[in-house]
């Protein structure tokens, strides 16, 4: 059907004129919700707690050394044949290149996108995290492929404590802001209860999601 005819039908049914203004309305979450905000310490602890409730695991790392030790520990245990990582300078602050040198690493934007289907671990940063719900937000661009966090069995996200917001609304694009081609809000591993209500993990996306929260600014 022709677009204008489609819209005209709606207009007619609603009894509205073409170009008629839109009445004001109460936008977004209730004020009691948008008005609240957690202290930075509470944001971190709430995020860690809720992320775990979602089936993920998050650790607060006091410094880069600690973050490296943990990451190294994971990778030693997982012994992944291939690791996918965001490309360019996206993870520069976390200084993990040295640590990854021992592994087969595919960098987004350098290795062919298709090859990420065979990664076992995906390491990404994030655009923001949300304390309320234990959520990671990834925004896609040339260096931040969607496949990096979506295709591997284990997703490890590196983030700064200051990236953690209280609620979702703070992370969502503001009016007029340029919106990335895709925004992914991930809260824990892929899950399904479609077989007799029995929870199973990793049905399509990662079966494990880890977050390493760097408590201090990188050096």
Partner 1 sequence: MSQTGIRERAKSALQDPLLQQAVQFTTDRLRTRKANVTETFGRWQEWRDRGRDIRAHTIAHLDFYLQQFADNVRSAGGHVHFAADAEEAAQAIVDIAKKRRAKLVVKSKSMVSEEIHLNRHLEDEGIQVVETDLGEYIIQLAGETPSHIIIPSIHKTREQIRELFTKAGGENLTTDTKALTGFARRTLRTLFQSADIGVTGCNFGIAESGTVVLFTNEGNADMVANLPRTHVVIMGMERILPSFADLEVFSHLLPKSATGQNVITYMSCFTGPRRDGEADGARELHVVILDNGRSRQLGDADFQDILHCIRCGACLNVCPVYRQIGGHAYGSVYPGPVGAVLTPLLNPGPEYADLPYASSLCGACFEACPVQIPLHDMLVKLRRRHVAQGLAKRGERAASRGFRLVFARAGRYRAIIRSGRLGQVLVARHGGIDARIGPLRGWTQTRRAPVLAKRSFREGWPGLRQELRQGNRPPATGTEGAPAHETAVNKE
Residues between 44 and 73 with contacts to partner 1, criterion CB under 8 A: 50, 53-54
The label of the residue with tokens 């004020």 reads: 31
Task: Classify the C-alpha dihedral 130-212-52-108 as positive or negative.
Answer: positive
Minimum Å gap between C-beta 174 and partner 1 is 8
**Given the complex with partner 1, which of 30 and 98 has the nearer CB atom?**
30
198 binds partner 1 (CB under 8 A): yes
Closest CA to 134 of 181, 162, 168: 168
Q: Is the dihedral of CA 148, 151, 152, 158 positive or negative?
A: positive
| Using rule CB under 8 A, residue 184 touches partner 1 | yes
Q: Considering only residues 71-90, where is the footprint of partner 1 by CB under 8 A?
A: none
| Cβ nearer to partner 1, comparing 181 with 219 | 181
Instruction: Please choose, out of 38-46, 68-76, 77-85, 175-183, the segment that lies near partner 1 by the rule CB under 8 A.
Output: 175-183
Question: According to CB under 8 A, which residues from 113 to 132 bind partner 1?
Answer: 113-114, 116-117
To 10 degrees, the CA torsion angle through 103, 106, 111, 113?
150
Considering the rule CB under 8 A, would residue 140 count as an interface residue with partner 1? yes
Number of residues that bind partner 1 (CB under 8 A): 75
Other beta carbons within 10 angstroms of residue 153's beta carbon come to: 16
83 or 150: CB nearest partner 1: 150
Name 179's Cβ contacts closer than 8 Å, sequence gap at least 6. Answer: 173
């Amino acid at each position: 059907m022709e677009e204008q005819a489609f819209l005209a039908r709606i207009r007619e049914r609603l009894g509205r004129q073409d170009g008629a203004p839109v009445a004001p309305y109460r936008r977004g979450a209730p004020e009691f919700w948008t008005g609240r905000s957690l202290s930075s310490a509470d944001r971190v602890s709430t995020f860690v707690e809720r992320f775990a409730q979602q089936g993920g695991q998050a650790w607060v790392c006091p410094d880069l050394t600690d973050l490296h030790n943990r990451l190294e520990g994971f990778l030693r245990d997982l012994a992944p044949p291939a690791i996918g990582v965001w490309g360019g300078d996206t993870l520069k602050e976390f200084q993990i290149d040295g640590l990854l040198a021992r592994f087969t690493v595919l960098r987004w934007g350098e290795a062919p996108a298709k090859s990420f289907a065979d990664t076992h671990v995906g390491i990404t940063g994030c655009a923001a995290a949300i304390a309320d719900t234990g959520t990671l937000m990834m925004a896609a661009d040339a260096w931040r492929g969607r496949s990096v966090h979506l295709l591997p069995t284990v997703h490890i996200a590196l983030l700064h404590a200051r990236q953690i917001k209280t609620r979702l609304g703070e992370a969502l694009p503001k009016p007029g802001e340029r919106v990335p081609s895709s925004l992914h809000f991930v809260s824990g591993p892929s899950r399904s209860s479609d077989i007799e209500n029995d929870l199973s993990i990793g049905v399509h996306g990662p079966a494990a999601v880890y977050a390493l929260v760097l408590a201090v600014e990188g050096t």
